[in-house]
Amino acid sequence: MGRLNSYGGVFQKQGKLKEAEQIFREALGIVEKLDDEKSRSFSLNSLGGVLQRQGKLGEAEQIFRECLGIVEKLDDQKQKSIVLNSLGGVLKRQGKLEEAEQIFRECLGIVENLDDQKQKSIVLNSLGGVFQKQGKLEEAEQIFREALSIVEKLDDQNSQSIILNSLGGVLKRQGKLEEAEQIFREALGIVEKLDDEKSRSFFLNRLGGVLQRQGKLEEAEQIFREALGIVEKLDDQKQKSIVLNSLGGVLQRQGKLEEAEQIFRKYWNIEEKITDSYVLKKGTVKRIIRHPKGYLYGFIAPDDGYMDIYFREGFVDPECLSSLKEGNRVEVGIKKGAMGLLATDMKLIS
Protein backbone atom coordinates (compact mmCIF):
# COMPACT_ATOMS: atom_id res chain seq x y z
CA MET A 1 0.00 0.00 0.00
CA GLY A 2 2.81 2.40 0.92
CA ARG A 3 4.50 1.65 -2.39
CA LEU A 4 1.24 2.35 -4.27
CA ASN A 5 0.90 5.73 -2.52
CA SER A 6 4.50 6.51 -3.47
CA TYR A 7 3.79 5.65 -7.11
CA GLY A 8 0.67 7.83 -6.99
CA GLY A 9 2.71 10.70 -5.58
CA VAL A 10 5.22 10.39 -8.44
CA PHE A 11 2.43 10.48 -11.04
CA GLN A 12 0.92 13.50 -9.29
CA LYS A 13 4.21 15.42 -9.36
CA GLN A 14 4.52 14.63 -13.07
CA GLY A 15 1.05 16.05 -13.67
CA LYS A 16 -0.36 12.62 -14.60
CA LEU A 17 -3.42 13.18 -12.46
CA LYS A 18 -5.74 10.51 -13.85
CA GLU A 19 -3.05 7.87 -13.36
CA ALA A 20 -2.41 9.13 -9.82
CA GLU A 21 -6.14 9.00 -9.03
CA GLN A 22 -6.30 5.38 -10.23
CA ILE A 23 -3.31 4.42 -8.06
CA PHE A 24 -4.70 6.14 -4.95
CA ARG A 25 -8.09 4.42 -5.46
CA GLU A 26 -6.30 1.05 -5.70
CA ALA A 27 -4.39 1.79 -2.48
CA LEU A 28 -7.65 2.80 -0.78
CA GLY A 29 -9.28 -0.49 -1.79
CA ILE A 30 -6.45 -2.44 -0.20
CA VAL A 31 -6.51 -0.64 3.18
CA GLU A 32 -10.32 -0.90 3.34
CA LYS A 33 -9.99 -4.71 3.08
CA LEU A 34 -7.30 -4.66 5.80
CA ASP A 35 -9.55 -2.52 8.04
CA ASP A 36 -6.60 -0.15 8.65
CA GLU A 37 -8.28 3.16 9.48
CA LYS A 38 -5.09 5.21 9.85
CA SER A 39 -3.78 4.10 6.45
CA ARG A 40 -7.26 4.65 5.03
CA SER A 41 -7.17 8.28 6.18
CA PHE A 42 -3.81 8.81 4.43
CA SER A 43 -5.11 7.26 1.20
CA LEU A 44 -8.30 9.33 1.31
CA ASN A 45 -6.34 12.55 1.82
CA SER A 46 -4.06 11.70 -1.12
CA LEU A 47 -7.06 10.88 -3.31
CA GLY A 48 -8.83 14.10 -2.31
CA GLY A 49 -5.74 16.10 -3.24
CA VAL A 50 -5.51 14.67 -6.75
CA LEU A 51 -9.27 15.10 -7.29
CA GLN A 52 -8.92 18.75 -6.27
CA ARG A 53 -6.09 19.27 -8.74
CA GLN A 54 -8.32 17.88 -11.49
CA GLY A 55 -11.05 20.34 -10.54
CA LYS A 56 -13.38 17.64 -9.17
CA LEU A 57 -14.14 19.84 -6.21
CA GLY A 58 -17.43 18.39 -5.00
CA GLU A 59 -15.99 14.87 -4.96
CA ALA A 60 -12.79 16.08 -3.28
CA GLU A 61 -14.82 17.79 -0.53
CA GLN A 62 -16.74 14.57 0.11
CA ILE A 63 -13.48 12.58 0.33
CA PHE A 64 -11.87 15.07 2.74
CA ARG A 65 -14.98 15.02 4.98
CA GLU A 66 -14.87 11.22 5.08
CA CYS A 67 -11.18 11.40 5.96
CA LEU A 68 -11.88 13.98 8.68
CA GLY A 69 -14.43 11.66 10.30
CA ILE A 70 -11.79 8.93 10.53
CA VAL A 71 -9.02 11.08 12.08
CA GLU A 72 -11.50 12.51 14.60
CA LYS A 73 -12.36 8.96 15.73
CA LEU A 74 -8.63 8.14 15.93
CA ASP A 75 -8.06 11.42 17.85
CA ASP A 76 -5.02 12.11 15.64
CA GLN A 77 -4.66 15.87 16.02
CA LYS A 78 -1.68 16.19 13.68
CA GLN A 79 -3.44 14.37 10.84
CA LYS A 80 -6.66 16.24 11.61
CA SER A 81 -4.89 19.57 11.05
CA ILE A 82 -3.61 18.33 7.65
CA VAL A 83 -7.06 17.16 6.56
CA LEU A 84 -8.76 20.35 7.78
CA ASN A 85 -6.30 22.40 5.74
CA SER A 86 -7.10 20.28 2.67
CA LEU A 87 -10.85 20.61 3.26
CA GLY A 88 -10.57 24.35 3.74
CA GLY A 89 -8.69 24.63 0.46
CA VAL A 90 -11.37 22.83 -1.54
CA LEU A 91 -14.15 24.87 0.11
CA LYS A 92 -12.27 28.05 -0.81
CA ARG A 93 -12.01 26.97 -4.44
CA GLN A 94 -15.78 26.36 -4.50
CA GLY A 95 -16.40 29.87 -3.19
CA LYS A 96 -17.67 28.62 0.22
CA LEU A 97 -15.56 31.26 1.93
CA GLU A 98 -17.26 31.56 5.33
CA GLU A 99 -17.13 27.80 5.78
CA ALA A 100 -13.50 27.72 4.62
CA GLU A 101 -12.60 30.47 7.11
CA GLN A 102 -14.23 28.50 9.92
CA ILE A 103 -12.30 25.34 8.95
CA PHE A 104 -8.96 27.16 8.75
CA ARG A 105 -9.53 28.80 12.15
CA GLU A 106 -10.25 25.37 13.67
CA CYS A 107 -7.10 24.05 12.03
CA LEU A 108 -5.08 27.01 13.33
CA GLY A 109 -6.21 26.28 16.89
CA ILE A 110 -4.98 22.68 16.58
CA VAL A 111 -1.52 23.54 15.21
CA GLU A 112 -1.07 26.22 17.88
CA ASN A 113 -1.83 23.62 20.57
CA LEU A 114 0.66 21.26 18.89
CA ASP A 115 3.20 24.11 18.66
CA ASP A 116 3.82 23.11 15.02
CA GLN A 117 5.26 26.33 13.58
CA LYS A 118 5.73 25.02 10.03
CA GLN A 119 2.11 23.85 9.79
CA LYS A 120 0.96 27.08 11.44
CA SER A 121 2.59 29.09 8.65
CA ILE A 122 0.82 26.93 6.04
CA VAL A 123 -2.59 27.39 7.69
CA LEU A 124 -2.05 31.14 8.12
CA ASN A 125 -1.24 31.40 4.42
CA SER A 126 -4.44 29.50 3.61
CA LEU A 127 -6.52 31.69 5.94
CA GLY A 128 -5.01 34.83 4.44
CA GLY A 129 -6.05 33.57 1.01
CA VAL A 130 -9.67 33.32 2.19
CA PHE A 131 -9.57 36.86 3.60
CA GLN A 132 -8.19 38.06 0.28
CA LYS A 133 -11.02 36.42 -1.66
CA GLN A 134 -13.52 37.97 0.78
CA GLY A 135 -12.02 41.40 0.08
CA LYS A 136 -10.60 41.71 3.62
CA LEU A 137 -7.27 42.86 2.23
CA GLU A 138 -5.78 44.51 5.33
CA GLU A 139 -6.56 41.43 7.44
CA ALA A 140 -5.08 39.21 4.73
CA GLU A 141 -1.90 41.29 4.66
CA GLN A 142 -1.57 41.03 8.44
CA ILE A 143 -2.01 37.24 8.33
CA PHE A 144 0.53 36.83 5.50
CA ARG A 145 3.08 38.93 7.42
CA GLU A 146 2.60 36.73 10.50
CA ALA A 147 3.15 33.61 8.36
CA LEU A 148 6.23 35.18 6.80
CA SER A 149 7.79 35.95 10.19
CA ILE A 150 7.40 32.28 11.16
CA VAL A 151 9.11 30.86 8.07
CA GLU A 152 11.88 33.46 8.31
CA LYS A 153 12.64 32.22 11.84
CA LEU A 154 12.56 28.64 10.52
CA ASP A 155 14.87 29.70 7.64
CA ASP A 156 12.57 27.85 5.24
CA GLN A 157 13.45 29.42 1.90
CA ASN A 158 10.88 27.57 -0.18
CA SER A 159 8.01 28.49 2.17
CA GLN A 160 9.27 32.09 2.25
CA SER A 161 8.90 32.34 -1.53
CA ILE A 162 5.34 30.94 -1.35
CA ILE A 163 4.23 33.37 1.36
CA LEU A 164 6.01 36.30 -0.28
CA ASN A 165 3.94 35.54 -3.38
CA SER A 166 0.74 35.73 -1.31
CA LEU A 167 1.85 38.93 0.41
CA GLY A 168 2.92 40.56 -2.85
CA GLY A 169 -0.45 39.70 -4.40
CA VAL A 170 -2.49 41.31 -1.62
CA LEU A 171 -0.27 44.40 -1.59
CA LYS A 172 -0.80 44.74 -5.35
CA ARG A 173 -4.57 44.48 -4.89
CA GLN A 174 -4.43 47.27 -2.29
CA GLY A 175 -2.51 49.45 -4.72
CA LYS A 176 0.67 49.31 -2.61
CA LEU A 177 2.69 48.80 -5.75
CA GLU A 178 6.15 49.83 -4.55
CA GLU A 179 5.85 47.46 -1.57
CA ALA A 180 4.59 44.70 -3.85
CA GLU A 181 7.54 45.27 -6.19
CA GLN A 182 9.95 44.98 -3.27
CA ILE A 183 8.29 41.75 -2.10
CA PHE A 184 8.40 40.12 -5.55
CA ARG A 185 12.06 41.13 -5.95
CA GLU A 186 12.81 39.49 -2.59
CA ALA A 187 11.01 36.30 -3.68
CA LEU A 188 12.91 36.37 -6.95
CA GLY A 189 16.21 36.55 -5.07
CA ILE A 190 15.25 33.48 -3.02
CA VAL A 191 14.32 31.28 -6.01
CA GLU A 192 17.48 32.38 -7.83
CA LYS A 193 19.53 31.11 -4.87
CA LEU A 194 17.53 27.87 -4.96
CA ASP A 195 18.29 27.62 -8.71
CA ASP A 196 14.56 27.10 -9.34
CA GLU A 197 14.09 28.28 -12.92
CA LYS A 198 10.37 27.51 -13.08
CA SER A 199 9.67 29.61 -9.98
CA ARG A 200 12.02 32.29 -11.31
CA SER A 201 9.92 32.63 -14.49
CA PHE A 202 6.77 32.82 -12.33
CA PHE A 203 8.12 35.62 -10.12
CA LEU A 204 9.51 37.52 -13.08
CA ASN A 205 6.01 37.50 -14.54
CA ARG A 206 4.56 38.71 -11.22
CA LEU A 207 7.20 41.44 -10.96
CA GLY A 208 6.55 42.52 -14.54
CA GLY A 209 2.85 42.88 -13.75
CA VAL A 210 3.56 45.23 -10.83
CA LEU A 211 6.00 47.29 -12.90
CA GLN A 212 3.36 47.54 -15.62
CA ARG A 213 0.79 48.78 -13.09
CA GLN A 214 3.28 51.47 -12.02
CA GLY A 215 3.70 52.61 -15.63
CA LYS A 216 7.28 51.28 -15.86
CA LEU A 217 6.48 49.77 -19.22
CA GLU A 218 9.96 49.40 -20.72
CA GLU A 219 11.26 47.71 -17.57
CA ALA A 220 8.19 45.45 -17.46
CA GLU A 221 8.77 44.47 -21.09
CA GLN A 222 12.39 43.59 -20.32
CA ILE A 223 11.28 41.46 -17.34
CA PHE A 224 8.62 39.62 -19.37
CA ARG A 225 11.18 38.89 -22.11
CA GLU A 226 13.55 37.45 -19.51
CA ALA A 227 10.73 35.23 -18.20
CA LEU A 228 9.93 34.16 -21.75
CA GLY A 229 13.54 33.11 -22.34
CA ILE A 230 13.39 30.86 -19.27
CA VAL A 231 10.11 29.12 -20.14
CA GLU A 232 11.30 28.55 -23.70
CA LYS A 233 14.38 26.76 -22.35
CA LEU A 234 12.19 24.74 -19.98
CA ASP A 235 9.74 24.00 -22.83
CA ASP A 236 6.91 24.83 -20.43
CA GLN A 237 4.08 25.60 -22.85
CA LYS A 238 1.54 26.43 -20.14
CA GLN A 239 3.76 29.04 -18.47
CA LYS A 240 4.92 30.28 -21.86
CA SER A 241 1.35 31.14 -22.85
CA ILE A 242 0.89 33.10 -19.60
CA VAL A 243 4.10 35.09 -20.14
CA LEU A 244 3.29 35.75 -23.80
CA ASN A 245 -0.08 37.16 -22.74
CA SER A 246 1.66 39.48 -20.26
CA LEU A 247 4.26 40.55 -22.81
CA GLY A 248 1.60 41.22 -25.44
CA GLY A 249 -0.27 43.43 -22.98
CA VAL A 250 2.71 45.62 -22.14
CA LEU A 251 3.66 45.97 -25.81
CA GLN A 252 0.08 47.03 -26.53
CA ARG A 253 0.22 49.68 -23.79
CA GLN A 254 3.43 51.08 -25.30
CA GLY A 255 1.73 51.38 -28.70
CA LYS A 256 3.90 48.63 -30.25
CA LEU A 257 0.81 47.20 -31.89
CA GLU A 258 2.36 45.11 -34.66
CA GLU A 259 4.72 43.44 -32.22
CA ALA A 260 1.88 42.94 -29.72
CA GLU A 261 -0.24 41.30 -32.42
CA GLN A 262 2.62 38.93 -33.26
CA ILE A 263 3.00 37.98 -29.58
CA PHE A 264 -0.74 37.44 -29.12
CA ARG A 265 -0.77 35.18 -32.20
CA LYS A 266 1.94 33.04 -30.59
CA TYR A 267 -0.11 33.00 -27.39
CA TRP A 268 -3.25 31.77 -29.16
CA ASN A 269 -1.28 29.20 -31.15
CA ILE A 270 -0.12 27.67 -27.88
CA GLU A 271 -3.60 27.90 -26.34
CA GLU A 272 -5.08 26.01 -29.28
CA LYS A 273 -2.49 23.25 -28.90
CA ILE A 274 -2.94 22.75 -25.16
CA THR A 275 -6.71 23.29 -24.88
CA ASP A 276 -9.11 20.45 -24.32
CA SER A 277 -11.97 19.87 -26.77
CA TYR A 278 -14.95 22.21 -26.91
CA VAL A 279 -17.58 21.53 -24.21
CA LEU A 280 -20.98 23.08 -23.44
CA LYS A 281 -21.83 23.86 -19.82
CA LYS A 282 -24.61 25.60 -17.91
CA GLY A 283 -23.97 27.87 -14.96
CA THR A 284 -24.65 31.12 -13.11
CA VAL A 285 -22.88 34.44 -13.67
CA LYS A 286 -20.89 35.02 -10.51
CA ARG A 287 -19.13 38.33 -11.16
CA ILE A 288 -18.98 40.97 -13.89
CA ILE A 289 -16.03 43.38 -13.72
CA ARG A 290 -15.01 46.36 -15.81
CA HIS A 291 -11.24 46.36 -16.31
CA PRO A 292 -9.41 49.72 -15.97
CA LYS A 293 -8.68 49.45 -19.70
CA GLY A 294 -12.43 49.53 -20.35
CA TYR A 295 -13.38 45.99 -21.34
CA LEU A 296 -15.77 43.72 -19.42
CA TYR A 297 -14.81 40.35 -18.01
CA GLY A 298 -16.06 38.04 -15.30
CA PHE A 299 -16.63 34.56 -13.96
CA ILE A 300 -19.34 31.90 -14.21
CA ALA A 301 -19.95 29.22 -11.56
CA PRO A 302 -20.78 26.02 -13.49
CA ASP A 303 -23.60 23.75 -12.30
CA ASP A 304 -21.27 20.75 -12.07
CA GLY A 305 -19.17 22.38 -9.32
CA TYR A 306 -16.04 22.38 -11.48
CA MET A 307 -13.71 25.41 -11.53
CA ASP A 308 -15.06 28.86 -12.44
CA ILE A 309 -15.26 29.77 -16.13
CA TYR A 310 -13.61 33.01 -17.26
CA PHE A 311 -15.28 35.17 -19.90
CA ARG A 312 -14.12 38.38 -21.53
CA GLU A 313 -15.44 40.97 -23.95
CA GLY A 314 -14.22 40.17 -27.46
CA PHE A 315 -14.48 36.40 -27.05
CA VAL A 316 -18.24 36.01 -26.52
CA ASP A 317 -21.36 37.42 -28.21
CA PRO A 318 -21.36 41.21 -27.53
CA GLU A 319 -25.17 41.36 -27.61
CA CYS A 320 -25.37 38.74 -24.86
CA LEU A 321 -22.67 40.48 -22.84
CA SER A 322 -24.40 43.88 -23.04
CA SER A 323 -27.51 42.55 -21.27
CA LEU A 324 -25.68 40.24 -18.87
CA LYS A 325 -26.23 40.63 -15.11
CA GLU A 326 -24.79 38.86 -12.08
CA GLY A 327 -27.05 35.94 -11.19
CA ASN A 328 -28.11 35.30 -14.80
CA ARG A 329 -28.29 31.68 -15.93
CA VAL A 330 -26.20 31.03 -19.02
CA GLU A 331 -25.01 28.27 -21.32
CA VAL A 332 -21.40 28.61 -22.40
CA GLY A 333 -19.08 26.87 -24.79
CA ILE A 334 -15.70 26.44 -23.16
CA LYS A 335 -12.17 25.30 -23.77
CA LYS A 336 -9.64 24.48 -21.11
CA GLY A 337 -6.41 26.38 -21.62
CA ALA A 338 -3.28 27.31 -19.69
CA MET A 339 -5.14 29.98 -17.74
CA GLY A 340 -8.15 27.81 -16.85
CA LEU A 341 -11.60 27.43 -18.37
CA LEU A 342 -12.23 29.98 -21.12
CA ALA A 343 -15.70 30.86 -22.45
CA THR A 344 -15.78 30.99 -26.25
CA ASP A 345 -19.59 31.24 -26.67
CA MET A 346 -22.38 32.36 -24.37
CA LYS A 347 -26.16 32.55 -24.43
CA LEU A 348 -28.66 33.59 -21.77
CA ILE A 349 -31.01 30.95 -20.36
CA SER A 350 -32.74 33.22 -17.84
**What is the structure's pLDDT at 1?**
54
Would the CATH topology of 1-115 be identical to that of 279-348? no
Look up the pTM and report it: 0.77
Residue of 170, 91, 163 whose CA lies nearest to 120:
163
Helix (H) or strand (E) segment spanning residue 309: strand 309-312
Instruction: Specify burial of residue 255 (Cβ count, 10 A radius: 0-12, 13-18, 19+).
Output: exposed
Cα distances (angstroms) measured from residue 286 to each of 84, 95, 300, 311, 328: 26, 10, 5, 11, 8
Lowest mean pLDDT among 70-74, 195-199, 303-307: 303-307
Residue of 51, 55, 40 whose CA lies nearest to 12:
51
Helix (H) or strand (E) segment spanning residue 280: strand 279-290
On the question of pLDDT at 338 being above 60, the answer is no
Is there a contact between 270 and 282 (Cβ–Cβ < 8 Å)? Answer: no
On the question of pLDDT at 172 being above 60, the answer is yes
On the question of pLDDT at 103 being above 90, the answer is yes
pLDDT band at 319 (very low <50, low <70, confident <90, very high): confident
- Segment 166-176 shows an average pLDDT of 97
Give the 3-state secondary structure of residue 194: coil
pLDDT tens for 12-48 read 788 888 888 888 899 888 888 888 899 899 999 999 9
Domain spans of the chain, in order of start: 1-115, 279-348
- Segment 163-183 shows an average pLDDT of 97
- Segment 93-116 shows an average pLDDT of 95
CATH dotted code for 279-348: 2.40.50.140
pLDDT tens for 253-263 read 999 989 998 99
| Rounded distance between C-alpha atoms, residue 319 and residue 346, angstroms | 10
| Rounded distance between C-alpha atoms, residue 282 and residue 297, angstroms | 18
Q: Which CATH code, of 3.40.50.10800, 1.25.40.10, 3.10.129.10, 1.10.287.3510, is assigned to 1-115?
A: 1.25.40.10
- Segment 77-103 shows an average pLDDT of 95
**What is the structure's pLDDT at 60?**
94
**What is the structure's pLDDT at 80?**
96
Residue-wise DSSP of 109-124: HHHHHHT-HHHHHHHH
Which residues does 288 contact at the CB level (< 8 Å), separation at least 6? Answer: 296, 297, 298, 324, 325, 326
pLDDT tens for 45-82 read 999 999 998 888 899 999 999 999 999 999 999 999 99
